[in-house]
Structure 1
Amino acid sequence: MQYYTAIMEIITTHINADFDSLASMVAAKRLYPEAELVFPGSQEKSVREYLSQQFRNIYAFKKAKHIHMDTVRRLIIVDTRQPERLGDLIGCLHNRHLSIHLFDHHPDHAGDLTGEYINIADVGATTTIFCRIFQERNISLTPDEATLMALGIYQDTGNFLHSTTTPEDMQAAAWLLTQGANLDVVTQFSARELNAEQVNSLGSLLKNAVSYYIGSVNVVVSKLVLAEYMDDFAVIVQRLMVMENLDAVFVLISMGERLYLIARSRIPEVNVGIIARAFGGGGHSSAASATIKDMTLFEAEERLIYLLHSHIRPKAVAGEIMSSPVIAVPPEVTIHEASNLMTRYNVTVLPVAEKSGNPESGERPRGLLGTLSRMVTEKAIFHKLGSLPVSEYMTTEIATLPPSGTLADIQKLIIEHRQRLIPVTQGETILGVITRTDLLGLLINDPAHMPVDLLQEDESPSVKRSRNLSGVMTQVLSRQAITLLRDIGESAEKLGVNSYVAGGFVRDLLLHVPNSDIDVVIEGDGIGFAKHYAKQKNASVRTHDKFATATVIFPDDTRVDVATARLEYYEYPAALPTVELSSIKLDLYRRDFTINAMAIHLNPERFGTLVDYFNSQNDLKERRIQVLHNLSFVEDPTRIFRAVRFEARLDFQITRHSEKLIKNAVDMHLIDRFTEPRFFYELKLILSESNPMGSLRRLAAFKLFSYIWPDLKPNLKIDRRFIHLITQANRSISWFNLLYLPEKIESWMVYLLAIYSRSGVKELVAFCQRFDIPARQRKKLVQQKADVERIARDMLKRPFMKPSEIYWLLIDLENEGLLYLMTIARKRHIQQAVSLFVTSLKNVTPLINGHELMEMGYRPGPLFRAMLNHLIEVQLDGQVTTHEQATAFICSTYPHSEERPL
């Protein structure tokens, strides 16, 4: 039974309380005898054991869940000042007239609590502060209290070996001995032997340990995954530090559903408390921990490495290594002029600024707008776009640094975000730029600190971005799919070529979404491999020589698309691609978006290894849709519709820079140059999504409706009527799918018919002709539109129809037509009629068949159909329900004397 206690004063500490926390709470009780001791959350295992053995029935500790928060008027907090570490007791902080008293030894941190009384000291343990107070006030302790307080000091100073230990801590411990502290108990709970399970974990940490040289500091990072929670893991980390004589160690442990960081340091260059607080934890400079939320082990490791670079060597270097003066151009300069300027000054990237400045006079550029690369200018000139201003195709999402930027900041932008040029700014002024060459110049004399992915960026993906996904594949893919991929890799190995699975398959795998569309890329002859593999597996193969692709079709109808690693280039904007053989890197670079530009090795030696040259994982994590180069939409405008579709389907966001490039492509009327079947394919995919409304809104926002449906009058727009129609179509399709009928529907047809519901048949015909829709689908669309709209008008006047009338009215409609009828129905009785037809009437068959009619003496002929249709009609209306009734109905309605010979 839950109970609450009304309490005026509370003494508390941080969650996962240690001995320093416990000792400080007990010490505070001597100063605030009326206050209750309340744990805000759990305690360390050793603390729980101590309480059960040593402090039984001495102090009554309460739990936060038993406290009536509104009644608390004074909150005494020890060993922390961070509100987020108070657990449920954080609710007390909102009480009116609350008095807060604070005792803590941790360094100041943003967001720390303040109070009416504050006692903060730079010592190794909070317990030391209370020892000082007791000595000043001549307060004596019991031996049990002295022993507990000694435990607090010994643990938090690492038996006086942590760098945070002060002379005052040792003096406090000496005074506690005079008060009767029992060192045997202190030894029992502070110097503990490892059990077998802990020894195994220690061995795993040693095996997984990786050294990072950051400046002149060697930092060790290790990680471990355990199925269940293990108590006292900090003891294992401390033992690792002592055994290996480490200056600083950071351990990430995944235990069950939670992820933890435990950190220790014995040198002033590494303040582990700052790192732990960045993860939402706490501690001091030599010992700290955190419970990490909303991150995977991999993400936490990446974040940790970045924080180490940021905080261990925070020396300002940006202002020292930047190149100056800066060559910049204003936004109105043409691409041709910018290209000439790059050639003159031998630079590959130009900043674009509102005021370009004058390098010769020392006037610096101001108002950074973006950057323009030589690659973009050359592509633009090739496409006859050199007369356009640079503002049309500059990259706008550019990160800058102040002169105080650190080496870690520079490496993050140049290596992780692949930004080849970093503007160094102060306010609106561009002071200088940092290039990859500048960074290499800084690091070249210190190769131990050289990131591997910077040195080999053009030859291989970065180490951080090359990880093995075999475990993820096992979790997400079926055994059959994994076997197929391994088999493809082994076949490629025998032929001496490299094989990969690439594109959306890899994207969905990282999102933990199954995807059966396997897109294999071969570094070599893709068609030749497909033919060889198909022959081995008794499968058929379809080739597409123009695009160097093939499809292998297995006997069970499983399909695998095989492509030659290729580089696509475009003869002119919106042209079909011309294909040349290339490597996997160039093949991925031709992809539409970064999230689709990843591959996985399939050859046995590297099976499951991710290939990510473009930091695609980061865009996937940040849920961004981003093109790989600035002329992407110029070369292939259909990518606009793919971007819109992926944004809605994945719940991602098109980046602002990519949005700008889309608007440029629309303003240049590149949509008019579409090869119509390719365009319609993309539109059909959008309309085949579970709910295309979000994508349609985006298309309208990009002003694309007038290109897609130019024949509709008035011009189509997202208004209340349009939203209602699409919503009704979505509901109709969802209703049909939930019936789990064996028939499949082409949902895109239903949405397209809904869009054309306010126009005539001729507008729909014009749309079909414009986009070269196949004849079968064209006929179906036009027929269903005409029939449904005629039937809708008829049913509107007939609110009460017999089942047989509904049947004969709807029997010739396709499923798509039926759902279109439900979409445009103005009255509920029409929707109910369609529902009744689909679920009950559509598949009704006569209780008597043709053979039985012949056995009854009727001769086959046109009358058969009339008799059977009549029988279906009376069955539908409930007049005939059994075989006997059906026989009697036929005999009485169609006597043999009335039968006419053929």
Structure 2
Amino acid sequence: MRVITTHTNTDFDGLASMIAAQKLYPDGVLVFSGSQEKTVRDFVAQTLLYRYQFLKAKQIDPAKVNELVVVDTRSSRRLGALAACLDNPRLKLYLFDHHPLSDGDLSGHTEVIRDVGSTMTLLAELLQERNIPISSEEATIFALGIYEDTGSLTHPTTTPDDLRAAAWLLEQGAKLEVVSQFISHDLTAQQIGYLNDLLKNAKRVSIQDLEIVISTLSLPVYVDDFSLIVQRLVAMENIDVLFAVVAMAGRTYLIGRSRIPDVNVGAVARDFGGGGHVSAASATLTGMELVEAYDQLVRSLHRHVRPQAIAREMMTSPAITVADDASLYEAQALMTRYNINAMPVVPRLAPGANGNGALISGIISRQMVERAVSHDLGKQPVQDYMATDIEVLSLNATLADIQEIIIEHRQRLIPIVHDRSIKGIITRTDLLNRLVNDPANLPKNLLHESEYPSLERSRNLTHLMTGCLSGAVIELLQTVGAVADDFLYNAFVVGGFVRDLLLRKTNMDLDIVVEGDGIAFARTLAKKLGGRVREHERFGTATIILHSGLKIDIATARLEYYEYPAALPTVELSSIKLDLYRRDFTINAMAIQLNPAHFGRLVDFFNSQNDLKQMAIKVLHNLSFVDDPTRIFRAIRFEKRMDFTIARHTERLIRNAVKMNLFGKGDDPRFFTELKLLLNEENATPAIERLADLGLFPFLWPDLRPHLNIDRRLRHCLVQTQRAISWFKLLYAGDQYDPWIIFLLAIMGRSPLSVLATFCDRFHVPPKTRALLLGEKQLADQASRQLATAGPPKNSEIHLAFKELRIEGLLYVMAVARKTEVKKAVSSYITKLRHEKPLLGGDDLKQLGYRPGPIFKTILETLLIARLDQEVKTRDNEIALVSQRFPLR
């Protein structure tokens, strides 16, 4: 492993130099040796979260590092836990640094060390010399390193080389407005005075219920970098939107900063002939006095500030409601089924109707229901105890509308009504998630809770998709989104595809979820793509098979609930939020929207990104394994395949589920399906050991002794099984086989046939598979005993022993055999003997005068045995043997 790292408490020069070093060493892994400066943490979280994969020192085994690239330091004391790599024999060390030599500094096999203002300068020179292309974003990152260490090229340590490197980066597209946002500058005494004047002159203007700060200032001289003063005022006073109108040396300047999506300062600046971005913009107002500029600015703001209607996209749909005349017991059952804490109450429209679609009567909460039931009032109607003083909103409600009702009026959920029907609800959690999406709404001290917090739970991944996916796949996903728009549906790609995309791994299992009729959508999409569709009406799903063989699974967004522990799920229509909530683990509960207007938007309701970053397997709720115990097998499979760790709380829930013995409460074929998938992993041994560690052996194999764990013999057998499979893979023989069969037979290796039969019956193994397992074990055990009890076997004996076995049975024999002769026999049979054939065939026997019939099989088998034992070698030898053994009459 080649690791690229820098000093602890990483600054921008260290960060930029690490990324630049990876351009020189593309196979290098970026590893932080310790903590980072706050501005670096913010920059990584907001800008680089999915563009580079940064690991922590604890995620690296120092003993496996044979090449270490160190940038911006030469001191082993500043490498934190990664200093352990220096003890590795034959370690190759590459050093890039600009600091003066100190006692105890390291010496490397390759050293690029010079007295310049920034290490990034040295790496920029190397990138130029080797003609390695860099993107505009990379140039910006590299510029951050140079500008930070040189004080924006003003420190005495700055050299001409630093200026030349900075100039080259600007030529490559480096964005100085981004650099200025993250590079801190100390204000001079004069600048502090201007800042105080801006603060004194600040006026707060309310436009569309949004508070905007406008400050005016007149100065006799032009002040360089006045935007820095404006930026500092925004940060110091935690202002969402600030416009500074400043007259300097006869000209008037407009500088705007915005930290909320509702105000696009770039659009406002364009009204004045300027420009910029959504969050930062400026304009020069020629021939305009301060008063006139202020008035025009207010008019422009009234034109542009239109708070986005977000109720439609924030709401959870469909709304789960209860009829006003339903009993409190019924309300309690609904809340338990759908795992909700409050729901709207609606008038019952007709006998047997649940009332969904009617105007709302009130809201009932779980706390109220449980208190009433505790007082033996469960049979009373909901309408007697519901809250009736409630407010509703339309689909076009803004964030301000939602905040006012939930925060100021303390209403725990808001029904969203359109055309006299309830379209969905917005809860306090929905509002909190929305606010968390925008870092401007977060108190600054919250940003220290983890080293790389996922500040946005809804970010656009188009950049990552174009970098990781082929053009054909992106075009396919765009087609899915366009068809969804035609249906007026929202469409998402979900699950493992999203997880692996964020991990930069290829996964072409395309699971598409639509908020609408999935089958109708699949029919139209199949016609558009020229594929065929296979429908599953019962589950509201369909599979599209394209000419290329690629399969696309289409599902209707659905909610599953379980009538009792370990039951098969009951499926109902729902929105994407509820669809994701029913999934197994947080890392699989993300989606990417495909509609053209929002293509690439990541949907993450459960902060799954952080769990993915922490390499943690976590369930979405505490009853996850009670609802579906087979998720335990998936947890183990993901843990071992991805080298993740089952989180402590999730592991405790697994052990609780095992203690509750939930596995025997249903005739569920999913247990056997999940076990097969687990045993089919690239290396199933660690997963099997994890099964034992979590106490699942008594459930899977209660007849094994010892059954509580893996003993030394079984562990050895599993290792031999993996070796046998690996050996066969290296042959590239082309035979199809199922590794799970080999592992299952190996685990049952010391057990009689009846134990395997009981296993098949308990897990409802299909009859064909059951017959295959029992047949292979019986034939393999018989062959193994036969070869083990005799002396060195002849080739013909090996052939007779193994000819009826499949590849799985043969590898099982190789795995469990104690004698080397038996292992060699399996190897010889697979690589050579099974391919042997007589030189004579049926047509040859006819020419020799033999009439077709059972005799042909006997003759050919005799010839094969003779050839295997080298009794015949040529065609003439075989003809002579046939004439001798089977004379014609």
For residue 509 of structure 1, the aligned residue among 501, 507, 522 is: 501
Shift in Å, 1:473: 3.2
Task: For 1:662-677, list aligned pairs within 5 A.
Answer: 662-677=654-669
Decide whether the 8 Å contact of 2:695 with 2:709 is kept in 1.
no
Q: Which residue of 2 aligns with 1:874?
A: 866
Listed one character per residue, the Cα deviations across residues 519-572 of structure 1 (whole Å, up to 9, x for unaligned) are: 111111111111222244443322223322222223443222111111111122
Shift in Å, 1:861: 1.8
Task: For 1:563-574, list aligned pairs within 5 A.
Answer: 563-574=555-566
Decide whether the 8 Å contact of 1:754 with 1:820 is kept in 2.
yes
Listed one character per residue, the Cα deviations across residues 778-830 of structure 1 (whole Å, up to 9, x for unaligned) are: 00110111111111111112231221221121101111111111111110010
> 2:813 matched to 1:818?
no
What is the distance in 2 between the residues matched to 1:775 and 1:756?
19
For residue 741 of structure 1, the aligned residue among 723, 733, 740 is: 733
> 2:693 matched to 1:701?
yes
Decide whether the 8 Å contact of 1:462 with 1:613 is kept in 2.
no
What is the distance in 1 between the residues matched to 2:153 and 2:836?
88
Decide whether the 8 Å contact of 2:497 with 2:507 is kept in 1.
yes
For residue 197 of structure 1, the aligned residue among 140, 148, 168 is: 168
Q: What is the DSSP-based 3-state SS (H/G/I as helix, E as strand, rest coil) of the residue aligned with 2:554?
A: strand
Q: Which residue of 1 aligns with 2:280?
A: none
What is the distance in 1 between the residues matched to 2:691 and 2:774?
25
What is the distance in 2 between the residues matched to 1:156 and 1:638?
54
Q: Could you say if the C-alpha distance between residues 242 and 776 of structure 1 is closer, same or farther in structure 2, counting changes exceeding 3 Å?
A: farther
Q: Could you say if the C-alpha distance between residues 750 and 242 of structure 1 is closer, same or farther in structure 2, counting changes exceeding 3 Å?
A: farther
Decide whether the 8 Å contact of 2:512 with 2:555 is kept in 1.
yes
Q: Could you say if the C-alpha distance between residues 826 and 203 of structure 1 is closer, same or farther in structure 2, counting changes exceeding 3 Å?
A: closer
Decide whether the 8 Å contact of 1:637 with 1:674 is kept in 2.
no
Q: What is the DSSP-based 3-state SS (H/G/I as helix, E as strand, rest coil) of the residue aligned with 1:871?
A: helix
> 2:768 matched to 1:776?
yes
Q: Which residue of 2 aligns with 1:682?
A: 674
Q: Which residue of 1 aligns with 2:474?
A: 482
Letter in 2 for 1:610: L
Q: Could you say if the C-alpha distance between residues 451 and 521 of structure 1 is closer, same or farther in structure 2, counting changes exceeding 3 Å?
A: farther
Shift in Å, 1:837: 0.3
Task: For 1:371-450, list aligned pairs within 5 A.
Answer: 449=441
Decide whether the 8 Å contact of 1:15 with 1:85 is kept in 2.
no
Q: Could you say if the C-alpha distance between residues 731 and 634 of structure 1 is closer, same or farther in structure 2, counting changes exceeding 3 Å?
A: same
What is the distance in 2 between the residues matched to 1:266 and 1:532?
54
Q: Could you say if the C-alpha distance between residues 160 and 468 of structure 1 is closer, same or farther in structure 2, counting changes exceeding 3 Å?
A: closer
Q: Which residue of 2 aligns with 1:492?
A: 484
Task: For 1:489-568, list aligned pairs within 5 A.
Answer: 489-568=481-560
Q: What is the DSSP-based 3-state SS (H/G/I as helix, E as strand, rest coil) of the residue aligned with 1:675?
A: coil
What is the distance in 2 between the residues matched to 1:447 and 1:671?
44
What is the distance in 1 between the residues matched to 2:873 and 2:516?
68
Letter in 2 for 1:775: P
What is the distance in 2 between the residues matched to 1:450 and 1:478?
37
What is the distance in 2 between the residues matched to 1:209 and 1:770?
67
> 2:888 matched to 1:899?
yes
Shift in Å, 1:479: 4.5
Q: Could you say if the C-alpha distance between residues 550 and 836 of structure 1 is closer, same or farther in structure 2, counting changes exceeding 3 Å?
A: same
Listed one character per residue, the Cα deviations across residues 14-42 of structure 1 (whole Å, up to 9, x for unaligned) are: 99999xxxxxxxxxxxxxxxxxxxxxxxx
Letter in 1 for 2:474: I
Letter in 2 for 1:570: Y
Listed one character per residue, the Cα deviations across residues 404-462 of structure 1 (whole Å, up to 9, x for unaligned) are: xxxxxxxxxxxxxxxx9xxxxxxxxxxxxxx999x99xx99x9965589x9xxxxxx98
Q: Which residue of 2 aligns with 1:586?
A: 578
Letter in 2 for 1:206: E
For residue 787 of structure 1, the aligned residue among 775, 779, 790 is: 779
Listed one character per residue, the Cα deviations across residues 177-220 of structure 1 (whole Å, up to 9, x for unaligned) are: xxxxxxxxx99959968886344356533378768999x999xx
What is the distance in 1 between the residues matched to 2:725 and 2:153?
71
Shift in Å, 1:613: 1.8
Letter in 1 for 2:619: V
Listed one character per residue, the Cα deviations across residues 657-693 of structure 1 (whole Å, up to 9, x for unaligned) are: 1112112222222222143311111111111112222
Shift in Å, 1:626: 0.5
Decide whether the 8 Å contact of 2:693 with 2:709 is kept in 1.
no
Q: Which residue of 2 aligns with 1:630?
A: 622
> 2:807 matched to 1:836?
no
Shift in Å, 1:518: 1.4
Q: What is the DSSP-based 3-state SS (H/G/I as helix, E as strand, rest coil) of the residue aligned with 1:542?
A: strand
Shift in Å, 1:765: 0.8
What is the distance in 1 between the residues matched to 2:621 and 2:567?
17
Q: Which residue of 2 aligns with 1:281?
A: none
Q: What is the DSSP-based 3-state SS (H/G/I as helix, E as strand, rest coil) of the residue aligned with 2:792?
A: coil
Q: What is the TM-score normalised by the length of structure 2?
A: 0.54
> 2:183 matched to 1:206?
no
Q: Could you say if the C-alpha distance between residues 15 and 623 of structure 1 is closer, same or farther in structure 2, counting changes exceeding 3 Å?
A: closer
What is the distance in 1 between the residues matched to 2:874 and 2:752?
46
Q: Which runs of 5+ in 1 are unaligned?
A: 1-13, 19-78, 95-105, 107-111, 114-124, 126-154, 163-172, 174-185, 219-240, 250-264, 271-335, 350-372, 387-419, 421-434, 455-460
Shift in Å, 1:469: 3.0
Decide whether the 8 Å contact of 1:822 with 1:834 is kept in 2.
yes
> 2:756 matched to 1:764?
yes
Decide whether the 8 Å contact of 2:796 with 2:868 is kept in 1.
yes
Decide whether the 8 Å contact of 1:676 with 1:770 is kept in 2.
no
Q: What is the DSSP-based 3-state SS (H/G/I as helix, E as strand, rest coil) of the residue aligned with 1:842?
A: helix
Q: What is the DSSP-based 3-state SS (H/G/I as helix, E as strand, rest coil) of the residue aligned with 1:866?
A: helix
Q: What is the DSSP-based 3-state SS (H/G/I as helix, E as strand, rest coil) of the residue aligned with 1:500?
A: strand
Task: Give the structure with higher Rg (CA).
Answer: 1
Shift in Å, 1:623: 0.6
Q: Could you say if the C-alpha distance between residues 811 and 475 of structure 1 is closer, same or farther in structure 2, counting changes exceeding 3 Å?
A: farther
Q: What is the DSSP-based 3-state SS (H/G/I as helix, E as strand, rest coil) of the residue aligned with 1:758?
A: coil
Decide whether the 8 Å contact of 1:600 with 1:611 is kept in 2.
yes
Letter in 2 for 1:755: I
CA RMSD of aligned residues (A): 5.0
Q: Which residue of 2 aligns with 1:67?
A: none
What is the distance in 2 between the residues matched to 1:542 and 1:700?
39
Letter in 1 for 2:622: N
What is the distance in 1 between the residues matched to 2:647 and 2:477?
33
Q: Could you say if the C-alpha distance between residues 436 and 529 of structure 1 is closer, same or farther in structure 2, counting changes exceeding 3 Å?
A: closer
Listed one character per residue, the Cα deviations across residues 718-744 of structure 1 (whole Å, up to 9, x for unaligned) are: 110110111111111111122112211
Shift in Å, 1:834: 0.4
Decide whether the 8 Å contact of 1:462 with 1:612 is kept in 2.
no
Percent of pairs with identical residues? 48
Q: Could you say if the C-alpha distance between residues 85 and 642 of structure 1 is closer, same or farther in structure 2, counting changes exceeding 3 Å?
A: closer
Q: What is the DSSP-based 3-state SS (H/G/I as helix, E as strand, rest coil) of the residue aligned with 2:749?
A: helix
Q: What is the DSSP-based 3-state SS (H/G/I as helix, E as strand, rest coil) of the residue aligned with 2:560?
A: strand
Q: What is the TM-score normalised by the length of structure 1?
A: 0.53
Shift in Å, 1:512: 2.2
Decide whether the 8 Å contact of 2:589 with 2:608 is kept in 1.
yes
> 2:800 matched to 1:808?
yes
What is the distance in 2 between the residues matched to 1:506 and 1:160?
42
Shift in Å, 1:753: 0.9
> 2:837 matched to 1:845?
yes
Decide whether the 8 Å contact of 2:741 with 2:773 is kept in 1.
yes
Letter in 1 for 2:888: E
What is the distance in 2 between the residues matched to 1:212 and 1:681?
55
Q: Which residue of 2 aligns with 1:246?
A: 228
Q: Could you say if the C-alpha distance between residues 610 and 859 of structure 1 is closer, same or farther in structure 2, counting changes exceeding 3 Å?
A: same
Decide whether the 8 Å contact of 1:485 with 1:602 is kept in 2.
yes
Q: Which residue of 2 aligns with 1:797?
A: 789
What is the distance in 1 between the residues matched to 2:588 and 2:13?
46
Decide whether the 8 Å contact of 2:839 with 2:875 is kept in 1.
yes
Decide whether the 8 Å contact of 1:519 with 1:561 is kept in 2.
yes
Q: Could you say if the C-alpha distance between residues 636 and 526 of structure 1 is closer, same or farther in structure 2, counting changes exceeding 3 Å?
A: same
